Amino acid sequence: MFVTVSLVFLFGVLLAALVKFKVLGCGGAFVAVMFGFFLASTGAAGPVRELTAAFITALSDLTS
C-alpha cells in the first residue's frame, strides 16, 4: 500500500507539472494513464468514482 500511494503521488506531481507547462505529448499520456492506474488501486478509488457520478448527474440535471 505504501508503494502504491507513493507512486500515485509521484505520477500526480508529474502530471500536474506537465499540465502546468503545457507539455502533453506521448509521455504526458503515459503519466496520465499510470496516475489513473495507481489511483484506482488506492482507497481514493471509491470517492473518486462517487464524485464522478455526482458530477455527471449534476450535468444531466442542468441540460434537462
DSSP 22: T
Q: What is the pTM of this model?
A: 0.55
> What are residue 24's phi and psi, to 5 degrees?
-110, 90
Q: Residue 5's pLDDT is what?
A: 63
d(CA 16, CA 57): 27
- Per-residue pLDDT, averaged over 45-60, amounts to 84
d(CA 32, CA 56): 21
Percent of the chain with pLDDT over 70: 92
Tell me the average pLDDT of the chain: 81
- Name which residue leads in pLDDT, 51 or 24: 51
d(CA 39, CA 59): 24
pLDDT score of 26 more than 70: yes
- Per-residue pLDDT, averaged over 22-39, amounts to 82
